[in-house]
């Protein structure tokens, strides 16, 4: 439990940091960082329910876009502003690092496994985002 | 509204400037094309053809009576996201679509946006919080987070200094990941209680082109295949440079330790 709280809070901090780096306006900072926290919450939840590397980041990214669209409507700004901080914790920085670290130590099997995991997460994030955007576009006519 | 030949080429110039700025701020390809199409229409073009890939903008405007005008521009953007300018550009384009502003006014406001970069202290603070936060996020202790935050200052200063030179993103990633890897390796060798992997992951999050990569795949999924493919190839090379620098640093640290 303590671990989960630490992860959620540090996801919030990470999202906040990146929102600053990307030059986000002050009054959106809280909701952008909240998106990172909630997105990671969805990841943890789906990860505990499903036995898959692929689906949790997909659901979390799909949630992040939905949250961003909602926030964009409430605060009247482009949705992209909220998508990006929200998906930052999902970016597979950890598995990319371990891929390299295994490769340096000559552990080819370990490098292969975490390499595949890195690619899978990147694809899953992109699919999750595109899925929601496609559903939205279905509703808007030409 | 009827534009003279000079006004048409001024409009074209403004649109190229706007497209380049949008790309530079990290706008999606489809958004850039959509925005420019709307602006062309708002200023009375009966046909606007816009073609955008990350390295090139091409716009052709067809006005009634006069001959079509066309221009291309080579773009060198490094995929840096900048919400600050992105929002301002959005506001301008929305205004123009509603009620086209005078061309010299448009030109002036674009120049104003081009000159206004994100304030450096904000980026620095963001890097410190971001790297520290993610070191903890990936399982590091508070101390790991603090060390990652200290190295984030170094990366940020490096980014600022090298950003003024001609150094490309590949060379920058190689250099900064090598220096960060060596520095963190040295510190963790002196203080064994720290976790080298967690600290490095926190700092790597600042350099990783994860967003650019996700955007590239998104571009492909919405039909901008060429743009998506070139961006994806670019980000893979950036990631490889990052991995290369870190690997060399890890290997040196392992050889000494």
The answer to whether A13 touches B136, Cβ cutoff 8 Å, is yes
Range of the domain at B218: 120-256
B134/B249 same-domain check: yes
3-state secondary structure of A73: helix
Do B165 and B232 fall within a single domain?
yes
Q: Check whether residue B178 and residue B62 sit in a common domain.
A: no
Higher pLDDT, A123 or B39: B39
Residue numbers in B near A131 (CB within 8 A) = none
Q: Of the candidates A6, A77, A98, which has its C-beta nearest B136's C-beta?
A: A6
pLDDT at A141 over 90: no
Q: Do B87 and A77 make contact, defined as CB atoms within 8 angstroms?
A: yes
B147 plus B239 within the same structural domain: yes
- pLDDT digit string, tens, across residues B206-236: 888 777 777 787 788 778 899 889 888 888 8
B210 contacts A22? CB cut-off 8 A: no
Q: What is the pLDDT of residue B58?
A: 95
Q: What is the pLDDT of residues A7-41, one digit of tens each?
A: 999 999 999 999 999 888 888 999 999 999 999 99
Q: Is the pLDDT of residue B77 over 80?
A: no
Do B19 and B109 fall into the same domain? yes
CA A37, CA A7: separation in Å to the nearest integer?
9
Instruction: Give the pairing of strands B56-62 and B69-74.
Output: antiparallel
Which residues, 6 or more positions from B58, have their beta carbon under 8 angstroms from its beta carbon?
Answer: B49, B50, B51, B52, B70, B71, B72, B73
Q: Label residue B60 by pLDDT band (50, 70, 90).
A: very high
Same domain, B179 and B232: yes
Nearest CA in chain A to B217: A126
Number of domains in chain B: 2
- Give yes or no: residues B130 and B77 share one domain: no
Whether residue B125 sits in one domain with residue B110: no
Which has more confidence, B79 or B97? B97
Percent of chain B with pLDDT over 70: 98
Q: Do B122 and A23 touch (CB under 8 A)?
A: yes
Supply the pLDDT for residue B14.
93
Whether residue B121 has pLDDT greater than 70: yes
Task: Give the best residue of B86, B134, B182, B239 to mutate against chain A (max A CB count within 10 A).
Answer: B134
- The closest CB to that of A14, out of B82, B133, B217, belongs to B133
**Residues B77, B142 share a domain:** no
B135 and B154 in a single domain? The answer is yes
- Window from B137-146, B186-195, B235-244 with minimum mean pLDDT: B235-244
Q: pLDDT at residue A135 above 60? A: yes
- Continuous H helices in chain B: 5-24, 29-42, 83-98, 103-115, 120-137, 142-162, 169-190, 196-207, 210-221, 225-256
Mutating which of A26, A40, A93 best tests the B interface, going by the most B Cβ atoms within 10 A?
A: A93
What count of other Cβ atoms lies within 10 Å of the Cβ of residue B211? 20
pLDDT of residue B137: 94
Structure tokens at A125: 């994030």
Element (H, E) at A14: helix A2-21
User: B84 and B34: one domain?
Assistant: yes
**Which of B95, B115, B135 lies at the terminal end of a domain, its last residue?**
B115
Q: What is the pLDDT of residue B78?
A: 66
pLDDT at A142: 55
- Closest residue of B to A28, CA-based? B83
Q: Do residues B106 and B14 make contact, with C-beta atoms less than 8 angstroms apart?
A: yes
Contact, A38 vs A62, CB < 8 A?
Answer: no
Band (B67; pLDDT cuts 50, 70, 90)? confident
Nearest to A91 among B31, B200, B210 (CB): B210
Please identify, among B86, B115, B144, the residue that sits at the C-terminal boundary of a domain: B115
Average pLDDT score, chain B: 88
- B145/B213 same-domain check: yes
Residue of A nearest to B243 (CA): A100
Nearest to A55 by CA among A133, A139, A121: A121
Q: Count CA within 13 A, CB hemisphere, residue A9.
A: 9
Out of A17, A25, A98, closest to residue B130 by CB:
A17
Domain boundary pick from B68, B85, B115: B115
């Amino acid at each position: 439990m303590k671990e989960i709280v630490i992860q959620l809070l540090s996801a919030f901090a990470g999202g906040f940091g990146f929102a600053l780096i990307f030059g986000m306006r002050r009054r959106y900072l809280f909701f952008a960082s909240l998106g990172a926290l909630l997105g990671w919450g969805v990841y943890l939840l789906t990860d505990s329910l499903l036995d898959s590397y692929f689906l949790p980041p997909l659901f979390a990214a799909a949630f992040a876009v939905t949250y961003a669209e909602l926030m964009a409507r409430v605060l009247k700004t482009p949705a992209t502003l909220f998508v990006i901080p929200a998906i930052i914790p999902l970016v597979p920085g950890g598995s990319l690092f371990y891929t390299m670290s295994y490769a340096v130590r000559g552990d080819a099997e370990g490098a292969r496994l975490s390499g595949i995991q890195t690619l899978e997460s990147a694809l899953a994030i992109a699919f999750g985002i595109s899925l929601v955007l496609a559903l939205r576009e279905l509703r808007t006519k030409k | 509204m009827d534009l003279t030949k000079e006004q048409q080429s001024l409009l074209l110039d403004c649109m190229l400037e706007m497209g380049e700025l949008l790309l530079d701020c990290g706008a999606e390809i489809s958004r850039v094309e959509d925005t420019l199409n709307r602006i062309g229409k708002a200023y009375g073009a009966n046909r606007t053809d816009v073609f955008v890939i990350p390295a090139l903008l091409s716009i052709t405007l067809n006005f009634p009576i006069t001959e079509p005008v066309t221009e291309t521009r080579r773009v060198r953007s490094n995929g840096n996201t900048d919400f600050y300018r992105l929002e301002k550009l959005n506001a301008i384009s929305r205004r123009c679509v509603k009620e086209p502003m005078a061309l010299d006014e448009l030109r002036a406001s674009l120049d104003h946006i081009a000159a206004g970069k994100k304030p450096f202290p904000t980026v620095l603070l963001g890097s410190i919080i971001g790297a520290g936060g993610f070191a903890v996020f990936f399982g590091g202790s508070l101390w790991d987070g603090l060390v990652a935050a200290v190295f984030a200052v170094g990366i940020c200063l490096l980014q600022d200094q090298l950003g003024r030179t001609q150094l490309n993103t590949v060379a920058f990633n190689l250099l900064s990941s090598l220096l960060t890897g060596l520095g963190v390796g040295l510190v963790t060798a002196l203080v064994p209680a720290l976790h080298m992997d967690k600290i490095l992951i926190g700092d790597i999050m600042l350099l990783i082109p994860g967003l650019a990569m996700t955007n590239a795949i998104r571009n492909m999924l919405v039909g901008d295949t060429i743009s998506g493919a070139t961006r994806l190839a670019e980000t893979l090379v950036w990631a490889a440079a990052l991995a290369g620098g870190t690997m060399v640093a890890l290997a040196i640290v392992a050889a000494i330790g």
